[in-house]
């Protein structure tokens, strides 16, 4: 089981946390945020513990940093078009795998295209776009590192049993593949996943993939990733900015201009959620005992709370607190078996529900993203999983 940094803007924070803070087991490099030369300049020790997501999700993306990679579909075909890509697909695969192999990454990733709808030709298109060319090239280059297939799926695809079965039959039909880099895209109104059905189906999907003897990495996940750990020893991710914790195709079209940032938030592990920094301080001032139940102390967090001025969303201090606090939770689950992970998570969720209620009783009316409305659905989802898969 590994915890990977999902890199985005300011990868230096992730690198510093990994190199100097021993937080996380490796990094997932993001070419949309990182020029090729900067990745190549990383020490071998970092590259060997990490891997590279080629991010072919939007093949005609015009993002400048993606264009520093000669294998990116838009670059290799000098202007991507679906009809013509087959002519250069093998060249793209060749260059991309050569790059991944040269960097000595821990594993090799076959990229995938992102489809926002339940496309009936999903598997056929992915095969032609990347899977077959990459597998051919990996075989030709005699690459020995484990090969993972990127699988970006919307919540509709995940929750539709027939569609999911087709996808499972497809991904398990390539004996050369060692694992799946699963990217769930769950459209939502608030920052946490509120759908128990979605979590339940994700747990099912992860279990089914593992039962086929494939490894699983779940990318672009928020704190709900802790729940997925009851499905076994999978790899999960964490990241700084929200767009590393929630998948959105928009980041491949948005400009890199600085925008007005959201209000700063701090991760409170006792609530399994992020609270607006100002409301967190209000809670701290109102009820020290309750605060102690919600907040897991870290140097970064303590320092942030001492600041006279609220930190801006684009400063590292609150993200560094999150890295430590979240990694601590992962470490608490890491040595446990599935049933004990379930029991611990159930305890955390029940405690979080109590804390959330107590905050309401103070009264502090948390804004909608900070409320504990995700907690009961999460509890329902893991209880259902326990009943169906784990109960002796």
Partner 1 sequence: MLTDSLELRALLRSLLPGLAITSVPNPSGQRVVFFCRFDAHAVGKSEPRQRAIWGNVVLKVSQGIHAAQIAYLQKEIEILNSLNSIHYPKLYWYETFTIDPRTGDMLPCRLFVTIEDRINANPLSAVTSKHRSETQVLAFLDHLVVALQPLWNHAQKLIHRDLKPDNILIKADGTVVIIDLGIVREEGAAGLTATGNLFGPCTALYASPEQARNDKKNITFKSDFFSIGVLAYELIANEHPFGLPTESILAVLERVMNHTPPSLYKRKMATREFSDFVSKLMEKQPYRRQRTLEQLQQDLSSLIKRS
What's the closest the beta carbon of residue 171 comes to partner 1, in angstroms? 8
**Is residue 234 a contact point for partner 1 (CB under 8 A)?**
no
- Considering only 119-127, 221-229, 257-265, 369-377, which stretch makes contact with partner 1 by CB under 8 A? 119-127
What's the closest the beta carbon of residue 58 comes to partner 1, in angstroms? 25
**Is residue 123 a contact point for partner 1 (CB under 8 A)?**
yes
Lay out the site mask for partner 1 across 194-213 (x = CB under 8 A, - = otherwise). --------------x--xxx
**Is residue 175 a contact point for partner 1 (CB under 8 A)?**
yes
What's the closest the beta carbon of residue 83 comes to partner 1, in angstroms? 18
What part of residues 125-144 is at the interface with partner 1 (CB under 8 A)? 127, 132
Name 182's Cβ contacts closer than 8 Å, sequence gap at least 6: 151, 153, 205, 206, 209, 216, 217, 218, 219
Residue (174 or 313) nearer to partner 1, CB: 174
**Is residue 387 a contact point for partner 1 (CB under 8 A)?**
no
Residue (122 or 220) nearer to partner 1, CB: 122
CA angle 135, 136, 142 (to 5 degrees): 85
**Is residue 90 a contact point for partner 1 (CB under 8 A)?**
no
What's the closest the beta carbon of residue 150 comes to partner 1, in angstroms? 18
Residue (175 or 363) nearer to partner 1, CB: 175
Residue (92 or 126) nearer to partner 1, CB: 126
**Is residue 166 a contact point for partner 1 (CB under 8 A)?**
yes
- Considering only 15-23, 166-174, 276-284, 306-314, which stretch makes contact with partner 1 by CB under 8 A? 166-174
- Considering only 167-175, 228-236, 339-347, 351-359, which stretch makes contact with partner 1 by CB under 8 A? 167-175
Check residue 35 and give left, alpha or beta (phi > 0: left; psi -120 to 50: alpha): beta
What's the closest the beta carbon of residue 172 comes to partner 1, in angstroms? 4
What's the closest the beta carbon of residue 169 comes to partner 1, in angstroms? 5
Contact with partner 1 (CB under 8 A) among 124, 286, 297, 299: 124
**In the structure encoding, which two tokens stand for residue 328, read together?**
């601590």
**Is residue 168 a contact point for partner 1 (CB under 8 A)?**
yes
Contact with partner 1 (CB under 8 A) among 171, 182, 217, 246: 171
- Contacting positions for partner 1 (CB under 8 A): 123-124, 127, 132, 165-166, 168-173, 175, 208, 211-214
């Amino acid at each position: 089981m590994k915890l990977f940094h999902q890199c985005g803007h300011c990868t230096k924070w992730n690198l510093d946390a990994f190199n100097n803070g021993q937080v996380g087991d490796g990094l997932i490099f993001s070419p949309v945020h990182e020029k090729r030369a900067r990745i190549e300049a990383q020490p071998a020790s970092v590259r060997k513990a990490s891997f590279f997501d080629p991010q072919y999700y939007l093949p005609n993306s015009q993002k400048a940093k993606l264009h520093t990679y000669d294998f990116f579909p838009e670059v290799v075909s000098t202007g991507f078009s679906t009809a013509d890509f087959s002519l250069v697909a093998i060249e793209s695969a060749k260059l991309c795998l050569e790059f991944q192999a040269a960097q000595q990454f821990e594993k090799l990733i076959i990229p995938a295209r992102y489809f926002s709808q339940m496309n009936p030709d999903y598997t056929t298109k992915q095969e032609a776009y990347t899977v077959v060319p990459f597998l051919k090239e990996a075989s030709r280059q005699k690459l020995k590192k484990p090969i993972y297939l990127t699988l970006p799926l919307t919540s509709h695809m995940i929750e539709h049993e027939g569609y999911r079965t087709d996808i499972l039959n497809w991904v398990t039909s390539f004996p050369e593949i060692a694992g799946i880099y699963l990217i769930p895209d769950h459209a939502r109104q608030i920052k946490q996943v509120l759908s128990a059905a979605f979590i339940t189906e994700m747990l099912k999907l992860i279990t089914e993939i593992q039962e086929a003897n494939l490894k699983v990495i779940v990318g672009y996940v928020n704190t709900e990733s802790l729940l997925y750990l009851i499905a076994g020893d999978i790899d999960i991710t964490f990241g700084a900015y929200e767009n590393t914790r929630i998948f959105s195709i928009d980041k491949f079209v948005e400009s890199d201009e600085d925008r007005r940032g959201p209000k700063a938030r701090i991760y409170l592990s006792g609530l399994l959620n992020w609270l607006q920094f100002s409301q967190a301080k209000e809670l701290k001032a109102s009820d020290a005992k309750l605060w102690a139940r919600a907040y897991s102390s870290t140097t970064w967090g303590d320092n942030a709370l001492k600041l006279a001025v609220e930190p801006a969303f684009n400063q590292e201090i609150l993200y560094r607190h999150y890295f430590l606090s979240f990694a601590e939770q992962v470490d608490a689950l890491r040595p446990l078996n599935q049933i004990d992970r379930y029991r611990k998570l159930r305890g955390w969720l029940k405690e979080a529900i109590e804390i959330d209620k107590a905050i309401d009783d103070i009264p502090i009316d948390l804004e909608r993203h900070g409320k504990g409305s995700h907690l009961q659905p999460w509890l329902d989802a893991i209880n259902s999983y326990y009943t169906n898969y784990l109960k002796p």
